[in-house]
């Protein structure tokens, strides 16, 4: 009955005795299990209530973003690239439109933390000259018209090195650091014809799912400035949601390409593991075995731009291009669609009615309008997703977080720093200090060899095998990204286990696409969900995202649209 629970050997023996020797033993255990579940659920509601009380300090601030007045801000990157390629639109005009928009919205949302506007305008002018020559003289040998993202403005997450830009990872000790060379993914971006406008905000050390640090300050959600943008690609999703960018590049080790798009109503794609070049990303993974959990990937306002940008990100990797075969036609009629409405963990926040209704709307469309086979998923091990992520992350001889946070120049003395941070005297955030303290208490070589620890690791492997079997032949799993809308600022600490919904798929190395489904009727905030497929089946999740975006509209502006 409690086959997959994480129990002490003595406790397992007691349960076996009750089941086999006590009259109505299984019924008794069922009652105990139900009572425990109710107690855990009440505890969860209490903790969520505490976080909601904390959030009362931040007054709701909706409808703060200035209206969109230029139609170019509402076009997809694919459409705009076609216009620049055919000479219908000047790259300089396009770049200036988005620069003006960033200057207008960024003081409110604090998403772009360093810009290279002058270089971008210069680069745009050079492209315009090349385009004009190529269009007017067929004898000119220039591949400029073949560039997939020609003239498209783009922003990059600050943790990914962009020449001349800061690369602090949100650490105050690196506030004056500037990058001397582009990361490979940035080189690929430049080669595609895209024009970089700047880098975007991140949490301190990319450690949390709320974008805030002592270098740049807090990023704010365009739909409600009192709420978080998510992390760690929070600045990237926020500037896209506010129509200050169309596309961008972020990274993901536990949900960073999905949580911010979910909170901000945009799209993101976490690639299959080992498909993207992460060289140069700061912070580092800390150990070779963790590198499979970390990926770079595309964030876009429109679903149709995900695949073109993804192809650019991996353009230097011929093996990845061949394995993924993103241009291969996808026949979704052969796929089965599994729906999971909640992961079964009573200690997570209950899935909101808005998100459940969104999942049901999608299912109705796929089943009734498209004729696809939709099935209720039964995945008992999924409720252990957060534990599976934490144990897998710690299952290696990596330097401790306290060492990494000071770039391996000693070790952070977390308790004194935590006390100093309570009085605003520390250069580290409270949540960073608390994570260091928790890691010191939990992770150790001795802990990793304990029976319960190894059992959780084995559960992760079993879950991966089950999902691989379920998702054969291009089948799809659709489930919540998180159980509720974006929390208020400072309202995340006691909700961190909710991130198990996303982080487990980094462990399982599966591709996941985050889909925007517009604005929730009750929450008045963005809603959506994640689409999961078997490893290397990225093209299937991307195809489903495009299909749903076409039907339901995807991103909805957080402001008025006043096109003259």
Give the full edge-to-edge strand order of the sheet including 526-532.
Answer: 112-115, 195-200, 153-157, 247-252, 295-300, 267-270, 512-519, 526-532, 476-479, 336-339, 373-376
Phi-psi region of 203 (alpha: psi -120 to 50; beta: other; left: phi over 0): beta
Q: Which of 235, 243, 264 is nearest to 112 (CA)?
A: 235
Q: What are the φ and ψ backbone dihedral angles of 477, each rounded to 5 degrees?
A: -110, 130
Residues known to be catalytic = 157, 232, 256
Residue 445 pLDDT: 79
Q: Partners of 347 in the beta sheet?
A: none
Task: Say how far apart CA 557 and CA 265 lie, in whole Å.
Answer: 9
User: Buried (b) or exposed (e) across 395-408, using 16+ Cβ within 10 A?
Assistant: beebebbbbbbeee
Residue 256 is labelled as binding a ligand:
yes
Helix (H) or strand (E) holding 168: none
Residue 121 pLDDT: 98
Residue 400 pLDDT: 87
| pLDDT per residue as tens, the chain (564 positions) | 444 556 555 556 555 655 555 566 566 656 767 777 888 889 999 999 999 999 999 999 999 999 999 999 999 999 999 999 999 999 999 999 999 999 999 999 999 999 999 999 999 999 999 999 999 988 888 999 999 999 999 999 999 999 999 999 999 999 999 999 999 999 999 999 999 999 999 999 999 999 999 999 999 999 999 999 999 999 999 999 999 999 999 999 999 999 999 999 999 999 999 999 999 999 988 788 899 999 999 999 999 999 999 999 999 999 999 999 999 999 999 999 999 999 999 999 999 999 999 999 999 999 999 999 999 999 999 999 999 999 999 998 888 899 999 998 999 999 999 999 999 999 999 999 999 998 887 787 788 889 999 999 999 999 999 999 999 999 999 999 999 999 999 999 999 999 999 999 999 999 999 999 999 999 999 999 999 999 999 999 999 999 999 999 999 999 999 997
User: Buried (b) or exposed (e) across 195-218, using 16+ Cβ within 10 A?
Assistant: bbbbbbbbbbbbbbbbbbbbbbeb
Residue 232 is labelled as binding a ligand:
yes
Q: Which of 72, 302, 102, 309 is nearest to 222 (CA)?
A: 102
**pTM of the predicted protein model:** 0.94
Task: Say how far apart CA 485 and CA 350 lie, in whole Å.
Answer: 11
Q: Which two tokens stand for residue 504?
A: 């487990």
- Report whether 221 contacts 238 (CB < 8 A): yes
Angstrom CA distances, 472 to 76, 253, 322, 432, 540, stand at 32, 25, 19, 40, 12
Residue 254 is labelled as binding a ligand:
yes
Q: Which two tokens stand for residue 356?
A: 């459940």
Residue 206 is labelled as binding a ligand:
yes
Residue 253 is labelled as binding a ligand:
yes
Q: Which of 239, 203, 216, 232 is nearest to 166 (CA)?
A: 216
Q: Which two tokens stand for residue 103?
A: 């200057």
Which domains are assigned to the chain?
A: 71-323+332-389+450-552 (3.90.1300.10)
DSSP annotation string for 479-509? E-SSSSSPPBTT--GGGGGGGHHHHHHHHTT
Give the count of alpha carbons within 13 A of 144, CB side only. 24
Residue 14 pLDDT: 57
Helix (H) or strand (E) holding 216: none
């Amino acid at each position: 009955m409690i086959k997959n629970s994480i129990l002490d050997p003595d406790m397992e023996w007691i349960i076996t005795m009750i089941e086999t020797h006590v009259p109505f033993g299984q019924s008794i255990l069922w009652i105990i299990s139900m009572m425990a579940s109710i107690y855990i659920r009440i505890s969860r509601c209490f903790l969520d209530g505490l976080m909601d009380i904390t959030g009362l300090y931040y007054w709701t601030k909706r409808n703060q973003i200035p209206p969109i007045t230029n139609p170019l801000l509402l076009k997809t990157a694919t459409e705009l690239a076609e216009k620049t390629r055919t000479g219908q639109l000047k790259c300089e005009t396009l770049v200036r439109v988005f620069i003006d928009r960033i200057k207008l919205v960024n003081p409110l949302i604090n998403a772009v933390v360093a810009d290279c506007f002058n270089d971008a305008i210069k680069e745009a002018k050079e492209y315009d000259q090349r385009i004009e020559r190529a269009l007017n003289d067929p004898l000119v040998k220039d591949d400029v018209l073949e560039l997939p993202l020609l003239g498209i403005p783009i922003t990059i997450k600050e943790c990914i090195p962009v020449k001349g830009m800061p690369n602090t990872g949100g650490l105050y000790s690196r506030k004056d650091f500037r990058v001397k060379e582009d990361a490979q993914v940035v080189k690929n971006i430049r080669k595609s014809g895209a024009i970089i406008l700047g880098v975007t905000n991140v949490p301190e050390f990319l450690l949390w799912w709320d974008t805030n640090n002592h270098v740049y300050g807090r990023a704010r959600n365009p739909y409600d400035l009192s709420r978080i943008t998510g992390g760690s690609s929070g600045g990237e999703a926020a500037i896209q949601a506010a129509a200050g960018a169309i596309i961008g590049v972020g990274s993901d080790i536990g949900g960073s390409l999905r949580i911010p798009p979910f909170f901000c109503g945009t799209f993101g794609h976490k690639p299959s593991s080992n498909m993207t070049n992460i060289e140069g990303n700061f912070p580092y993974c800390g150990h070779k075995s963790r590198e499979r959990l970390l990926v770079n990937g595309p964030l876009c306002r429109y679903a149709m731009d995900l695949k073109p940008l993804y192809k650019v990100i991996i353009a230097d990797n011929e093996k990845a291009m061949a394995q993924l075969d993103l241009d291969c036609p996808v026949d979704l009629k052969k796929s089965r669609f599994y729906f999971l409405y909640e992961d079964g963990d009573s200690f997570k926040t209950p899935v909101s009615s808005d998100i459940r209704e969104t999942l049901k709307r999608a299912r109705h469309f796929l089943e009734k309008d498209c004729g696809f086979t939709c099935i209720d998923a039964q995945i008992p091990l999924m409720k252990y997703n957060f534990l599976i992520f934490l144990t897998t992350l710690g299952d290696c001889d990596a330097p401790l977080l306290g060492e990494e946070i000071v770039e391996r120049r000693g070790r952070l003395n977390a308790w004194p720093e935590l006390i100093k941070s309570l009085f605003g005297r520390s250069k580290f955030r409270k949540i960073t200090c608390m994570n260091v303290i928790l890691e010191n208490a939990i992770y150790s070589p001795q802990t990793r060899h304990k029976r319960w620890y190894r059992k959780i690791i084995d559960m992760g492997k079993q879950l991966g095998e089950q999902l691989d079997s379920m998702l054969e032949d291009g089948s799809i799993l659709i489930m919540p990204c998180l159980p509720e809308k974006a929390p208020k600022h400072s309202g995340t600490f006691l909700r961190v286990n909710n991130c198990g919904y996303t982080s487990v798929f980094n462990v399982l190395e599966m591709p996941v696409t985050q889909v925007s489904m517009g604005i929730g009727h009750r929450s008045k905030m963005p809603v959506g969900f994640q689409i999961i497929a078997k490893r290397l089946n990225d093209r299937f999740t991307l195809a489903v995202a495009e299909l749903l975006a076409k039907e339901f509209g995807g991103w909805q502006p957080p402001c008025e649209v006043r096109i003259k």
